[in-house]
Amino acid sequence: MLIKKRAWNAISRTAAWVESKNTAGSGQRWADRIYNEIETNAFSKTLFAICNNASLARFGYRCFHVNDWVVAHKVVRNTFIVYRFIHGSRLH
C-alpha cells in the first residue's frame, strides 16, 4: 500500500486540525483510524467502482468512503495507491 504525498498531506492537515479542536493525541488517533480503514480496504482485494465524481473518474480512480471522506485510489502492478483523500462535501 502506498499513500501519495497529496493524500498524505490532506490526512496530516486534517489530523492537525482535529488535534487543535480536541484533546492532546486526538489528531493522531483520528489519523490512525483513517489509516487503518484504508489499509483494511487495500488488503480486502475488493474491486471498488470508478469514482462518481467526474474530475476523479477521468484519472481512472476508484473510490470508497471512510465516514465523510472519499479515498480515491488505483491498483497498479498489485500495489494499492491512494492518490486523493477528500471530504465528501467538497465533491458536490
pLDDT, tens only, 54-70: 999 999 999 999 999 99
Q: Where are the alpha helices (DSSP H) in the chain?
A: 5-21, 26-42, 54-57
Grid cell listed for 83: 492518490
Q: What is the residue-averaged pLDDT of the chain?
A: 96
To which H or E segment does residue 5 belong?
A: helix 5-21
Domain residues for 57?
Answer: 2-91
pLDDT at residue 45 greater than cutoff 90: no
CATH code at 12? Answer: 3.30.2310.20
Task: For residues 12-37, give the mean pLDDT.
Answer: 96
Tally DSSP H helices, then E strands, for the chain: 3, 4
| More confidently predicted of 8 and 47 | 8
Q: How far apart are CA 51 and CA 75, in angstroms?
A: 14
pLDDT digits (tens, 9 = 90+) for 67-82: 999 999 999 999 999 9
Q: How many domains does the chain have?
A: 1
Q: How far apart are CA 87 and CA 92, in angstroms?
A: 10
